[in-house]
Chains A and B, each alone.
Chain A
């Protein structure tokens, strides 16, 4: 399907039927303040600076980047755990009362009641399965909590639902009265997934869900996420820094650098024909468990470190480290995210296909 609309533009055009979430020009800045009694704002951390993307129903969009690129901030804005500074977060919700109808809601400006309703439909799974489960609650009360909050069913209904959910995520229904510390990391992450599933959401934000797990356990959780998506028709926004994991699970991938999207494309297009110099460097840096292949691989080693988001460089944010940067262009003009091939969006003044994987 061809997108005629500019993904970067703040168009008010109605969004396509199959799009579940459309993020338009999302900006999130955290103020930096000085002074003890009279706090004054002396600057801002530009965590996310104008990010636009779409998530289609039933697909997995992978959002990748290194620490400080704004991927988690984007995710947290999408579910309004953080208040966006500006931008639209259009979400296609099932209309209240109506059968089969849908309405567009801007998550960014939704009021409390609307948000409450939306949060049944949008759930999140966090990275750290140790920090995201209350150690003083039993598994049953953890998983049932969303049901209690939203007033679903009687106590017995909820317990039945908890047992069903435990089965769905591959844990034993007898485990309801145990505490989180009695489980391994992988099992805890399953509990986190069960909690997210409790209200039958259609959209799940997965914020580094397997990063804290050992390799052999990672595979178990990735398979589970795959199965759940198929079984319940879920849509995923999958945040991760591991490009191999993202390749495995995503249908489309967006690469972020310092608060902006550098490149976005269908999965194989991004890995096989990356066009942005940052994507090139990023992909070439990921080690592959294959000694002979590694021997022949050319690494693009970037100079220096990622600049501070409190003081991002002018022009293209990657220009300070980019091997292709040209003075007077890249350090002056912000490159727009343009659709250079069908569904392949690149924000670079000098894009070029380079095979690095």
Chain B
């Protein structure tokens, strides 16, 4: 049996700070299949970006450290690789695009130079061929007059165009996995639509698996097949997109979904909100990390950290002690919000 494309086992990534150890990612395990589009959803500090950085081995000691865990890519443990071998993987088999295309591109080199550099690093081609591949990559991401634009510098591109360049660079070596960390967060909504449309088309054509990291549940709904929801460094729920959106099993997922303002929601009603704020990753609460903010917490929640268990749909797992007994999908969030006021 072929191993899954990506398998992460029991990943822990910690950061040492003056105030103490920040447990940014704790006990995170998941797998991704070839061609899958996975949404990794969570708020700031939930560990979604650190998970991705860990997969790319971009966590630099002494600041941060992957304390334990295994990251198997096509069955090979990335954590056991030498830095040279890892260089081959980065940009070759796994590519990453970041939120801010301006800081990810080097301002003193032309777009062409940067694309060619990536291609030369990973493909056995000459400079001239690399330039042709680079031109084609820009054409693929629909940048007009690609040949001329190759000699332009990053500042000569708009935000949306720069993100296209990043995608071109990421896909230029035909990676099997593309990690996109908030790729459209810095962009306007019409530009976001352009970029998502493009990413979806290219990923489908090439069968590239995409890990889309975002805080925007709307973006995930239109892009991903599967979703994992992260909270305070752990995965609290995962499943197919339909399972997560229509039948959330974890109170945090439910809280997020019901606190969102929706474009198609006509009446002005009180929003449900998740009370309080996320915990400090240095001083985590005992038991379930969501307990202090949870509307449904009981005794057990303060004692034991719940593990992910099947609940709801066939692919769905939730890390909640009460997942089986709560029927979150049938709750009226607006009514609860009103009641909370009284």
Chain A interface residues toward B at CB < 8 A: 66-67, 184, 186-187, 214-220, 222-223, 226, 241-245, 247-249, 268, 271-272, 281-295, 297, 299, 301-302, 305-306, 357
CB pair B190–A281 under 8 Å, yes or no, is yes
Beyond A218-B261, A281-B190, A284-B193, 10 extra complex contacts between A and B, CB < 8 Å = A216-B274, A219-B271, A220-B273, A241-B188, A244-B263, A288-B221, A290-B264, A299-B193, A301-B194, A305-B161
CB neighbours of A287 from chain B (8 A): 192, 216, 218-219, 221-222
Cβ–Cβ contact A223 & B337, under 8 A: yes
Q: Which residue of A lies closest to B194 (CB)?
A: A301
Residues in B neighbouring A223, C-beta threshold 8 A: 270-271, 273, 337
Q: Give the residue among B158, B241, B263 with the most A Cβ atoms within 10 A.
A: B263
| Interface pair A271/B242, CB less than 8 Å apart | no
Please indicate the chain B residues that have their CB under 8 angstroms from the CB of A284 in the complex.
Answer: 193
Q: Offer 10 A-B interface pairs, CB within 8 angstroms, sorted by A.
A: A216-B43, A223-B271, A223-B337, A271-B266, A272-B266, A289-B221, A289-B260, A290-B262, A297-B222, A305-B161
Q: How far is the CB of B222 from chain A (nearest CB, A)?
A: 4
List residues of chain A with CB within 8 A of the CB of B194: 301-302
In the bound assembly, the distance between CA atoms of A268 and B263 in angstroms comes to 11
Q: Contact residues of B with A, CB < 8 Å? A: 43-44, 158, 160-161, 188-194, 197, 215-222, 241-242, 245, 255-257, 259-266, 268, 270-275, 277-278, 337
A295, B224: Cα distance in complex, Å: 11
**Are the C-beta atoms of A184 and B277 separated by less than 8 Å?**
yes
Of A219, A285, A286, A292, the residue contacting B242 (CB under 8 A) is A292
Which 10 A-B residue pairs are closest in the complex by CB-CB distance? A287-B218, A216-B274, A219-B273, A285-B193, A294-B222, A219-B259, A66-B188, A214-B43, A248-B261, A289-B217
The reply to whether B264 and A293 form a contact with Cβ atoms under 8 Å apart is yes
Q: What CA separation (Å) do A297 and B259 show in the bound complex? A: 23
Known A-B contacts A216-B43, A216-B256, A291-B222; the reply to A248 vs B268 at CB < 8 A is yes
- Which of A184, A297, A301 has the most chain B CB within a 10 Å cutoff? A301
Residues of B within 8 A of A241 (CB): 188-189
A272, B255: Cα distance in complex, Å: 27
Pick the contact of A305 from B191, B216, B217, B222 — CB < 8 Å? B191
A289 touching B262 in the complex, CB below 8 Å, given contacts A282-B190, A305-B191:
yes
Question: Which residues of B sit under 8 angstroms from A282, Cβ to Cβ?
Answer: 189-190
> Are A302 and B273 in contact (CB-based, < 8 A)?
no
